Structure formats: C-alpha cells, structure tokens
Amino acid sequence: MISLQDRVVEIGSTAGTSPSGSTLAKMSRAKALPRAPVFDWPAQGTQGQPRLPCVGDLPAKLFLTSGRAALAAALDQIDTKPGDAVLVPSYHCPTMVAPVLLHGLQPVLYAIGPDGLPRLHDLEVVGLSRVRVMFAAHFFGLTRSLRAVRAWCDARGIALVEDCAHSFFGMAGEQPVGTWGHLATASLTKFFPVREGGLLARAEGRLKPVALRKPGWKRHVQSLADVLEFASQHQRPGGVAPLLQLLFAAKRRRRVSALRATSSDHSASPSDAAQMLQACDMGRVGELPAGPVEWIVRHQDLASIVRRRQANFDGLQEGLAGLDGAGPLFRERPMASAPYVMPLWVDDSGRADRLYVALRQHGLPVLRWDRLWPGLKKPANDSGCSWSHQVLQLLCHQDLQRKDVARIVDTTRECLRLA
C-alpha cells in the first residue's frame, strides 16, 4: 500500500485540536456549504485587473454550454476519422471520455505520474499509429508546464488539447495556462457563478467555424432562473434572497416529488458504458450557451476570484497537514495558480470511502473521481488509478468564507479520526 510519506512531505503543524463528538453532531446539522460559486451583487460591476492570465485572455475563443461541450468542439477542430484514437488520462471525469465516443473515436487511457503529468516514456509502448489527439489536464487547478508534453505531441503529429477545466487562471510553468495546447478547453461553472458554460480557445491561429444552435428565449430565462435559484439556497443575492426563496420553494417541491416518483435509488452509479454516456448528458454540446452566462462571466472581479481561491486552498492545505494516514496530496501550491480544489490523499482506500461518505453527509463541498470509464484498459506504472480511490477533492472556490474553511478542516479531521 502506498503511504502518505511516499506522496508528500509534511507541511508544518496541525491547526488546533479536533472537535468533540458533540461538536461533530452540531456540524452534521449545519447547512450544506455551496458546491460552486454563488451569484451575488458585490461580485458584479467593474472588473478588477486580474493578477493571473486566464483562458479567457486567449485571442480566439468560443463560448459553449459546458466543459464537455468544449472538448467535443475541440475534436471538431481536429482532422480525425472514425476509429482514430484519443489519449485520455487514467484519472478522469467521465465527461472527458464521453466526447471522444460521441465522435466515433477510441479513448485510450495513459498513465500519469505522481505530479499529475503524462508518463511519456510509458506511452511509447501503447501503439501510437492511430492516435490523433491527446487530452492533458491541469489537475485540481495546480498548473504545471506542459513543455515536454507539447514537444512529444509535435514530434508525432498529435494534436494536444489542454484541458483547463480545473485551471481557468494561472501560469503553467513558463507560459500562461491554455497556451501550451493546440487548443484549450475550460469549464465556466467551476470558476464563475453560472450553472452552465464552457470555453474553447486557441492561442495561435483562428478557430474553424462551428455551427451551433441558438437557444430559445425559454432557455435564456431558465438559465437566469437557475443562477438565482442556486444563489437563493445560500441566502444570496443580498436583500432579495428571502423573496427568491419563496418564489423557488414551490418549484423545488415539485422537483423533489417528481424525482421520488420516477426513481427509487439516485445514489447508484452507472454500471456500464451506455449508462455512463447517458449520465454525461451530451444533449446540448452543439448549442450556444444562454445569454446570461457570458454577461455574468464578463462582469466578475477576476482578481478577487484568484485571491480568494488561493487563500481558501492555503487554509485547507495548512489545516489538514500532519494528519495520521492522510494529508494534502502535494507539498505546496504553484504560486501562480488559482486552484479548483485541494486534493486530500488518504492512505487506505477503505478509509477514503468512509471519509467521503461522512463528509457528504455533513454537507461539505467534496468530490471524487472514482467512476472511471468501464471497459477501458488501465495502464501500468500509474498514479491515476490510486488517485481515483484515495484522493478526495475539497472545493476551495471564492464563495467559501474563512469560517467555512475552518468548518471543512475541523469536520474532516474529526471524520478522519472516526473513519
């Protein structure tokens, strides 16, 4: 079994004592923390000067409905034919694989190292004659240089798609994020208070014209309603949240009743490739996003987003260091990054399972990528497969306050003790 000491060097002391059992019981009754950025008035207005470059700075770009739609659009930009192969990291969200299959292409998993970068030497043995595309991701928003990856792709005539779903902002080594790939993709919902939105961008040259359906007026209204409903669940926007809660209360009751009537088990994960593809919801990949999306994104204070994410990540990193059998996956955050999550490594996979369930029950914003695409061959010498079972992703978005970060730290420490 891989130990924490094999993954990361300890970072300082722990952040105080663990909460008592009675305190943990109170935590379980606390309101769930937001799992994504939340729309509010203070975030709107004059856009501040961002401290970091971002994918949105790239000269050629196209707004889409999601990150997976951006990946699908990226494949449209590349000369492929049915049966060609696309290299996909072994550690992945299913929505990274779904666009490949949607285009009639063959996903091939590749191994990643302990730094999250592709193990390029091991790729030479998989057979590259049909490979036309490689997806390479900046996992967790901890950006790294892709110089070696780009050189490897260029030498073999492979198009590099830089997946920036976790890393809208930052320097990836010596270059801005999104500029290493022949194409770059991003997910707007992870960094902005919108409920849909993706971005396809290119640092050099133009994007080929793409035929996209325009959403109807109902879609525009629904998009804005989704943003406001999510905000109202977290007592925002200020001043009108109570009114919005009343307006959306009936809608939520109808939705819950419909879900109960149509399904007896919503916790089950898809068990085969066909179910997984359906769960990825690829229906709107060929559609433009609703109007409110681009407007909201363009009116955010980017400098504030970066600063708050860095502070929240650092608070989680410090507070969860020095634990017994668990801790931050990486020793430190790249300075020029705005993380998506703080990855927490747990030595024992069974303990990681129990911890994940407990944190969700306590309403904490935590994710994991344990649903790897069924039927794909797992590579050797790989860190990704162990990450899927032993890494929990603790969200650190800008709308988590300092007290929220403290709650995540205290609850995680106590749940780890009991797991």
Residues 54-96 pLDDT 10s:
999 999 999 999 999 999 999 999 999 999 999 999 999 999 9
Question: Which has more confidence, 148 or 256?
Answer: 148
Cα 393 to chain centroid distance, Å, stands at 9
pLDDT at 235: 82
The answer to whether 146 and 167 have CB atoms below 8 angstroms apart is no
Confidence category of residue 280, pLDDT binned at 50, 70, 90: confident
The answer to whether 391 and 370 have CB atoms below 8 angstroms apart is no
pLDDT at residue 304 is higher than 80: yes
pLDDT at residue 357 is higher than 90: yes
Sign of CA dihedral 321, 326, 328, 329: positive
Q: Which residues pair with 109 in a beta bridge?
A: 88
The percentage of the chain sitting over the pLDDT mark of 90, rounded to a whole number, equals 71
Bridge pairing between strands 106-110 and 85-89: parallel
Q: Which residues pair with 110 in a beta bridge?
A: 89
What one-character-per-residue DSSP string does 397-415 give?
Answer: -TT--HHHHHHHHHHHHHH
What one-character-per-residue DSSP string does 195-222 give?
Answer: SS-EEEEESSS-PPP---BPPPHHHHHH
pLDDT at 274: 81
Bridge pairing between strands 391-395 and 341-346: antiparallel
The answer to whether 157 and 28 have CB atoms below 8 angstroms apart is no
Segment among 19-28, 180-189, 364-373 with least mean pLDDT: 19-28
pLDDT at 29: 61
Confidence category of residue 249, pLDDT binned at 50, 70, 90: confident
Cα distance between residue 418 and residue 355, in whole Å: 9
Average pLDDT (360-364) is 96
Sign of CA dihedral 161, 164, 170, 173: negative
Element (H, E) at 85: strand 85-89
Q: Determine the 3-state secondary structure of 376 from DSSP.
A: coil
Cα distance between residue 338 and residue 335, in whole Å: 9
Question: Which has more confidence, 262 or 49?
Answer: 49
Average pLDDT (185-209) is 96
In the chain the domains, ranked by start, together with CATH numbers, are 4-39+301-418 (3.90.1150.10), 55-202 (3.40.640.10)
Q: What is the pLDDT of residues 254-273, one digit of tens each?
A: 554 444 443 333 345 666 77
pLDDT at 258: 47
Average pLDDT (106-118) is 96
- 88, two tokens: 């996909």
